[in-house]
Amino acid sequence: MSLKYAVGNLTIQRIIEQETSFVPALEMLPGLTPEILAENRAWMRQARALDDQDVLMLCFQSYVVKTPHHTILIDSCIGNDKPRPNRPKWNMKTDDTYMRALDAAGVSVDDIDFVMCTHLHVDHVGWNTRLENGRWVPTFPRARYLFAKQEYDHWFAENAKAEIPPFADSVLPVVEASRHELIGNDHQIGDHVRIVPTPGHTPGHVAIAMGRGKDDAVFSGDLMHSPVQTLYPELSIKFDVDPAKAATTRRSFLERYCDTDTLCCTAHFPSPSVGKIKRKGSAFVCAAV
C-alpha cells in the first residue's frame, strides 16, 4: 500500500487516521438498489470498499503536499477529544494514530504552511484544533487555514441557529486565533494551487487542484465517497445537501479528469485511495497507479 506519491514537482503523502466500516451501502446511497449492489458486490469486496455485511468501508485521511514553495495539509480528519456521540469510533477519541502518521511521513505540525479544507464537515476539520489546558487551539500553529467563504458563511449561519459542535470546536477557535482566511473560488497559492468549485455535498464544497501550469493532482474531498460512484455517478449519498447537484458536479468532474495524467486523490476511497480517472463504457473508474 503506497502512502507516498510523486507527480510533477509535487510530493503527496497520505496521513491515515482510520480505515473502517461506516454505513450500510443501501442506507448511505439511497439510489442504490439491491440489484445494482448484487452486480457490484464481488469487486467492491475485493477492493475492500464493502465488508461482509454490505457496509461501506471508508478511509479517513489527510493529504500532505509539498510544492517547491509550501507544505500544505488538505482536510484534517477526525481529531481527538471531540464530542461526537453519534459516531462512537470518533467520540472523545484519544489515540495517537494521526500524529504518528504525520511523524512517519517526516512532517511536524510546525512544517505546515497552509491547511485547506474541501468543506467543513466533522471528518474534514477535526485536527484543525487540539485541546490544550481546556481550550481548543490551532494544531498547526504556523499555518494559515483557508476556508471557502461560501462554505464558511453557510455553516456560520447554521451554527448561529443551533450549535454545530465541529464548527464550534474545530473552526471557530481557528478564527478566534486569527489564523484563518476566507477565500473565493478564484484563490490561488503561488503558481501551484487552485480551487475547483464542486458544490452539492455542501454548498461551498471545493476540490483542490495542484501543479504548475497543469493539474498534476486533484483532491476531490467528498465529491465521491465510494468507488461505486464512479461507475454510477448519479448515486449521491444521504449526507449530500443537494443530491441532484452533487451528481451533476460529480459527472462533470469525472469527465474533466477522465483519461488525463492527473492523480485523483480521494478522501474516502479504500486504500490506495489515489488513482487516475479512466472511462469505462458510459461511466468511469479510478484506476490505481
pTM, full prediction? 0.97
283-288: strand order across its sheet: 188-189, 193-197, 206-210, 217-221, 263-266, 274-280, 283-288
What is the per-residue pLDDT across 113-127, written as a single tens digit (0 to 9) for each? Answer: 999 999 999 999 999
Is residue 42 scored above 90 in pLDDT? yes
Tell me the three cell numbers of residue 211: 501543479
pLDDT at residue 95, as a whole number: 98
**Interacting residues of 251 by C-beta distance below 8 A, sequence separation 6+:** 233, 234
What is the per-residue pLDDT across 80-99, written as a single tens digit (0 to 9) for each? Answer: 999 999 999 999 999 999 99
Query: Mean pLDDT throughout 171-175?
Result: 99
Is residue 253 scored above 80 in pLDDT? yes
How many angstroms from the chain centroid is the CA of residue 74?
7
The pLDDT mean for the chain works out to: 98
Is residue 26 scored above 80 in pLDDT? yes
Query: Mean pLDDT throughout 60-72?
Result: 98
pLDDT at residue 130, as a whole number: 99
Residue the block writes with cell 464550534: 168
Q: Binning pLDDT at 50, 70 and 90, where does residue 2 land?
A: confident
Q: Decide if 263 contacts 276 (C-beta within 8 A).
A: yes
Q: Binning pLDDT at 50, 70 and 90, where does residue 1 land?
A: low
Pairing status of strand 193-197 against strand 206-210: antiparallel
Which domains are delineated in the chain? Answer: 4-217 (3.60.15.10)
* The Cα angle at residue 208 between residues 14 and 227, in degrees rounded to 5: 60
**Interacting residues of 124 by C-beta distance below 8 A, sequence separation 6+:** 75, 76, 77, 117, 118, 221, 222, 267
